[in-house]
């Protein structure tokens, strides 16, 4: 397993794991990852360890808790990682919701936080694990306050790939610190109106979410302390995350942009 280290705060590791994609990353993205393979940043943001699995899938360690986001790829994709204390699923699409992976992880009574649209598609054997959280709702779980944030395409249409109210982004808060996971969204008002976010994971891939310039504009509006591009493989390859970083830092040099590899080689 190839691992990529960088710091979100003192002693924080970000590591790349197995990628099941057959896509090839561009030279620009390769150069970015190569530079970040040995980079370290000192930040007063929250102390969290993120292990990207692929695309939207990751393992998070925050204090003494471990949680997974959008687990796909089978149990083998999580080999070597701690079992989750809870799981977040953002949407019904196959790169976010995979019942076979959820079952293979042998979660026991571990809770899976989902929007209603996901709950309706998961099998009966997983129903007792589910906490259904609709847009705007908040649940307290294992010391975290977890709020469901809307995620959707603009302009709003009935045939959009991501319609408002179906999927969830999430804001997690603990001990006065906060993490935002955007899910598949564009530069929506609900994202722009966020405040006091320590670390934000922002999607950017066409035609499914938004281009890097739109993502940068959204980030500049809500001003997180740190932002990490994720979910950046689109129909025509990888988004230019280096350009995203340049746009954000041009607009606000105080926002730290961390580039990590969500699509590492096997």
pLDDT digits (tens, 9 = 90+) for 157-200: 776 677 898 999 999 999 999 999 999 999 999 999 999 999 99
At residue 205, the pLDDT reads: 87
Q: Does 3.30.70.141 match the CATH number of domain 90-257?
A: no
At residue 162, the pLDDT reads: 74
Q: pLDDT tens digits, residue range 5-17?
A: 334 443 333 433 3
Alpha-carbon torsion, ordered 254, 255, 256, 261, to 10 deg: -160
Q: Indicate the domain borders of the chain.
A: 90-257
Give first-to-last CA distance, the chain, whole Å.
Answer: 7
Could you tell me the pTM of the whole model? 0.83
Distance of CA 145 to the CA centre of its chain: 17
Closest CA to 8 of 49, 36, 37, 38: 49
- pLDDT band at 31; cut points 50, 70, 90: very low
């Amino acid at each position: 397993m190839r691992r990529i280290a960088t710091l979100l705060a003192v002693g924080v590791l970000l590591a790349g794991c197995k990628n099941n994609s057959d896509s090839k990353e561009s030279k620009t993205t390769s150069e970015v990852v190569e530079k970040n393979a040995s980079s370290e940043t000192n930040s007063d943001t929250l102390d969290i360890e993120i292990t990207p699995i692929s695309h939207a899938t990751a393992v998070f360690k925050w204090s003494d808790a471990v949680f997974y986001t959008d687990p796909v790829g089978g149990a083998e994709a999580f080999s070597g990682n701690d079992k989750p204390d809870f799981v977040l699923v953002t949407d019904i699409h196959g790169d976010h919701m995979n019942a076979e992976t959820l079952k293979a992880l042998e979660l026991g009574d571990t809770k899976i936080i989902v929007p209603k649209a996901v709950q309706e598609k998961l099998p009966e054997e997983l129903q007792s694990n589910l906490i259904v959280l609709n847009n705007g709702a908040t649940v307290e779980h294992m010391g975290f306050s977890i709020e469901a944030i809307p995620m959707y395409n603009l302009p709003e249409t009935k045939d959009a790939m991501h319609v408002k109210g179906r999927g969830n982004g999430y804001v997690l808060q603990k001990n006065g610190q906060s993490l935002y996971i955007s899910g598949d969204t564009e530069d929506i008002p609900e994202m722009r109106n966020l405040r006091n976010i320590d670390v934000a994971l922002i999607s950017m891939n066409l035609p499914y979410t938004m281009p890097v310039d739109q993502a940068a504009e959204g980030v500049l509006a809500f001003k997180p302390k740190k932002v990490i591009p994720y979910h950046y493989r689109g129909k025509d390859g990888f988004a230019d995350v280096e350009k995203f970083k340049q746009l954000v830092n041009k607009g606000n040099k105080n926002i730290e942009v961390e580039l990590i590899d969500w699509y590492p080689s096997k």
